């Protein structure tokens, strides 16, 4: 016992040295370095039945808003094409809309008036939050009017007895969490884009993120929603009760509907008490088998205080280090013994001493049984953030290294990593990858990382630029693999433009029929976020 403890307790100096290595927590959006190309064939043609917006429409829409600056458009000269780029293009620069009108209403009533006008005039719309999505769900495909929720950014109420937060859809996730932190509570969702993403967008895309293992999905934590329906009607479903069993739970339909059923304008969500103590430890391990063993041990030892279990492969770690070196940051050695896999364990509990004892027992078992190669344990909040950056820095480093094909899939844990191995093999067979996941082929890296506890892996293929050849090598192959492994082609990034055509790999005809009929029920004209999601 003491040997194990001393090995891991001896690491603070080692870990402290890493303060210089770790960057602040990665925040989207980061701009991609190259101009993107997208399969023209996958873009559905513009629907002829939708009205082409004119300067006349713009004038009328502007008249519905309290502040004239809440609408910008190229049609009346209030904006240039360049000024609309941040609304038309996604942050990865992969999807490029041609919207000519962007509206940022300042109240639910303004959203309602604008949506009603568009509905009555057959004008297609796309609701947009922080534009941090990864599948092109929040940007126009053709000339849809962008309805941004960024102007709806107030906390409406918070009840410290029940932990219920009611806030506008445009409140930034990190701002909501900071607000809660001051009151001893925590937002039950956390993800890399927290500095930019909006809570309305999180709900619309059913975001999963880093805390799902502990706090569950938004389907369990969201208590109510306010939604402007496609015809402009305001639906007040903003309930704050933990239990309400009076009819169909219709708010659930909007969670993960990607704006296809209306514009979410406010969210009521149940927030837990913020843990009084948090710990994080990172390990190098010798195989994916070992990652699974560490996960099983962590669940057994830590039980209710296990708040996250993340993993990544050596290739992902290399991309992070190469990126650091390229931008001139010092890259120090973190692990005495490196391995093909790494895993991160976070605990959060109400009693620091108890948590440390539980974690200590786990570390002892892992070390004495030889289940890990090396490990580091954060000794303070700076190190805590630093160790997290080893994991959270991966998407940013990939994005800075090249154009990234991102696949977010869920697969039963046992087979989860095989999707990365199979795609690597496929890329090699196509002459696109010559190394073991990075560096030597046209593909710069093919890496895997994700949320072990949720059976959710992120496969990132980093290319010099987006090309049809690379896309054709990966898709639909990757979806076929996921389908064979009985997984889901989208674990937490929704469908958007990217996966709309691949949804049949995860949903059967009957399920899709039900979804289409519900979509049609809410939006018979098909004006809300067209060309995407369930077609």
**Ranges within 351-370 binding a second copy (CB under 8 A):** 351, 354, 357-358
CA angle centred on 145, ends 140 and 149, rounded to 5°: 90
Name the residue nearer to a second copy (CB basis): 333 or 354: 354
* Residue 73-92 contact track with a second copy, rule CB under 8 A, x = bound: --------------------
Helices (H), 42-172: 55-62, 85-88, 108-120
Compare residues 45 and 247 and give the one whose CB is closer to a second copy: 247
Q: Which of 494, 498, 527, 528 binds a second copy (CB under 8 A)?
A: 494
Q: How far is the CB of 76 from a second copy (least distance, A)?
A: 34
One of 20, 327, 472, 521 touching a second copy (CB under 8 A): 521
**Nearest to 67, CA basis, from 97, 110, 98:** 110
DSSP state string for 325-392: HHTT-------SS--SEEEEEEEEES-HHHHHHHHHHHHHHHHHTT--SEEEE--SHHHHHHHHHHHH
Q: What is the DSSP letter of 46?
A: P
Q: Which is nearer to a second copy, 461 or 491 (CB)?
A: 491
Size of the site for a second copy (CB under 8 A): 86
- The DSSP result for 282-332, as a single string, is EEEESSHHHHHHHHHHHHHHHGGGEEEEEEEEHHHHHHHHHHHHHTT----
Q: Which is nearer to a second copy, 79 or 512 (CB)?
A: 512
Between 13 and 517, CB nearer to a second copy: 517
Window 132-171: contact mask with a second copy (x via CB under 8 A): ---------------------------x-xx---------
For the CB of residue 313, give the shortest distance to a second copy in the complex, in Å: 20
Q: How far apart are CA 168 and CA 268, in angstroms?
A: 9
Nearer Cβ to a second copy (48/508): 508
Q: Closer to a second copy at the Cβ: 78 or 252?
A: 252
Cα distance between residue 357 and residue 288, in whole Å = 27
Q: Give per-residue burial for 497-531: e unless 16+ CB within 10 Å, then b.
A: bbbbebbebbbeeeeeeebeeebeebbebbbbbbb
- Give the interface segment with a second copy, choosing from 212-220, 312-320, 336-344, 378-386 (CB under 8 A): 212-220
CB of 186 to a second copy, least distance (A): 12
The residue whose two tokens read 């929040």 is: 138
Query: Minimum distance between the CB of residue 479 and a second copy, rounded to whole angstroms?
Result: 11
278's tokens: 């948090």
Q: Position of tokens 């980093």?
A: 462
Closest distance of CB 502 from a second copy, Å: 9
Rounded to the nearest whole angstrom, what is the least distance from the CB of residue 413 to a second copy in the complex?
A: 5
Query: Using an 8 Å Cβ cutoff, are 405 and 443 in contact?
Result: no
Q: How far is the CB of 524 from a second copy (least distance, A)?
A: 11
Q: Closest approach of Cβ 203 to a second copy, in Å? A: 12
Q: Which of residues 445-484 bind a second copy (CB under 8 A)?
A: 451, 454-456
Minimum CB distance to a second copy smaller for 65 or for 305: 305
Site for a second copy in 368-407 (CB under 8 A): none
C-beta closer to a second copy: residue 357 or 429: 357
Residue 158, exposed/middle/buried by CB under 10 A (0-12, 13-18, 19+)? middle
For residue 489, count CB atoms less than 10 angstroms from its CB and return exposed for 0-12, middle for 13-18, buried for 19 or more.
buried
Query: Which stretch, 34-42, 107-115, 344-352, 421-429, contacts a second copy (CB under 8 A)?
Result: 344-352
Closest contact distance (angstroms) between CB of 228 and a second copy is: 12
Give min distance, CB of 147 to a second copy, in A: 20
Residue with tokens 């993120």: 209
CA angle 324, 327, 330 (to 5 degrees): 50
One residue of 225, 404, 413, 470 binding a second copy per CB under 8 A: 413
Look at residue 61 and give its three-state secondary structure: helix
Q: Rule CB under 8 A: which of 181-210 touch a second copy? A: 205-206, 208
Identity of the residue, 103 or 204, whose beta carbon is nearer to a second copy in the bound complex: 204
End-to-end CA distance of the chain: 58
Q: What does DSSP say about strands 125-128 and 145-148: parallel, antiparallel, or unpaired?
A: parallel
What minimum distance in Å lies between the beta carbon of 483 and a second copy?
A: 11
CA distances, 70 to each of 56, 58, 232 (Å): 17, 12, 18
Residues 271-330 that bind a second copy (CB under 8 A): 273, 275-276, 292, 296, 299-305
Considering only residues 500 to 519 of the shown chain, the ones binding a second copy according to CB under 8 A are: 503, 506-508, 510-512, 514-515, 517-519
Helix, strand, coil percentages for the chain (3-state, nearest 5): 40, 20, 40
Binding to a second copy (CB under 8 A) within 233-272 occurs at 233, 235-237, 239-250, 252-253, 255-257
**Closest distance of CB 357 from a second copy, Å:** 7
Q: Which is nearer to a second copy, 203 or 433 (CB)?
A: 203
Residue 36-75 contact track with a second copy, rule CB under 8 A, x = bound: ----------------------------------------
Dihedral sign (CA 469, 475, 478, 484): negative
Residue 220 binds a second copy (CB under 8 A): yes
CA distance 191 to 209: 5
List phi, psi (to 5°) of 162.
-95, -20
């Amino acid at each position: 016992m003491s040997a194990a403890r001393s090995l891991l307790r001896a690491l603070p100096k080692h870990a402290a040295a890493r303060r210089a290595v770790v960057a602040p927590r990665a925040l989207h959006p980061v701009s991609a370095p190259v101009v993107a190309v997208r399969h023209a064939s996958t873009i559905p043609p513009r629907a002829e039945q939708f009205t082409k917006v004119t300067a006349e429409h713009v004038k009328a829409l502007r008249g519905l808003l309290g502040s004239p600056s809440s609408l910008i458009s190229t049609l009346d000269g209030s904006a240039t094409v360049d000024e609309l780029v941040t609304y038309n293009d996604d942050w990865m620069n992969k999807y490029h809309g041609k919207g000519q009108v962007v509206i940022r209403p300042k109240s639910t009533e303004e959203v309602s008036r604008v949506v009603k006008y568009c509905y009555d005039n057959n004008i297609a719309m796309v609701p947009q939050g922080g534009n941090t999505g990864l599948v092109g769900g929040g940007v126009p495909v053709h000339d849809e009017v962008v309805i941004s929720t960024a102007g709806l950014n107030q906390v409406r109420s918070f009840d410290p007895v029940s932990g219920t937060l009611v806030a506008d859809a445009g409140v930034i996730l990190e701002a909501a969490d900071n607000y809660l932190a001051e009151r001893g509570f925590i937002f039950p969702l956390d993800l890399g884009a927290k500095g930019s993403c909006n809570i309305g967008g999180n709900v619309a895309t059913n975001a999963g993120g880093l805390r799902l293992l502990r706090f569950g999905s938004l389907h369990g934590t969201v208590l109510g929603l306010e939604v402007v329906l496609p015809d402009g009607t305001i639906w007040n479903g903003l309930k704050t009760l933990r239990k309400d069993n009076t009819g169909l739970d219709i708010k659930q339909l909007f969670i993960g509907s990607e704006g296809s059923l209306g514009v979410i304008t406010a969210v009521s969500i149940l927030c837990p008490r913020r843990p009084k103590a948090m710990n994080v430890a990172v390990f190098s391990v010798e195989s994916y088998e070992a990652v699974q063993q560490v996960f099983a041990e962590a669940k057994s030892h830590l039980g209710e205080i296990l708040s996250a279990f993340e993993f990544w492969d050596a290739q992902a770690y290399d991309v992070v280090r190469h990126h650091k070196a390229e931008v001139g940051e010092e890259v120090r050695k973190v692990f005495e013994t490196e391995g093909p896999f790494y895993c991160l364990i976070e605990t959060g509990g109400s009693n620091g001493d108890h948590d440390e004892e539980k974690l200590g027992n786990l570390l002892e078992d892992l070390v004495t049984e030889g289940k890990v190669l090396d490990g580091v344990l954060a000794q303070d909040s700076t190190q805590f953030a630093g160790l997290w950056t080893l994991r959270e820095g991966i998407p940013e480093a990939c994005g800075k290294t090249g154009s990234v094909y991102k696949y977010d899939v869920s697969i039963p844990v046992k087979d989860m990593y095989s999707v990365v191995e199979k795609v690597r093999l496929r890329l090699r067979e196509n002459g696109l990858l010559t190394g073991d996941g990075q560096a030597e082929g046209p593909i710069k890296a093919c890496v895997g990382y994700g949320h072990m506890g949720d059976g959710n892996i992120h496969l990132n293929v980093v290319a010099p630029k987006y090309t049809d050849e690379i896309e054709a090598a990966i898709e639909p192959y990757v979806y076929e693999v996921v389908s064979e492994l009985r997984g889901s082609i989208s674990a937490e990034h929704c469908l958007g433009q990217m996966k709309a055509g691949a949804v049949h790999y995860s949903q059967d005809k009957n399920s899709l029929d039900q979804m289409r009929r519900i979509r049609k029920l809410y939006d018979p004209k098909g004006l809300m976020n067209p060309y995407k999601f369930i077609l």
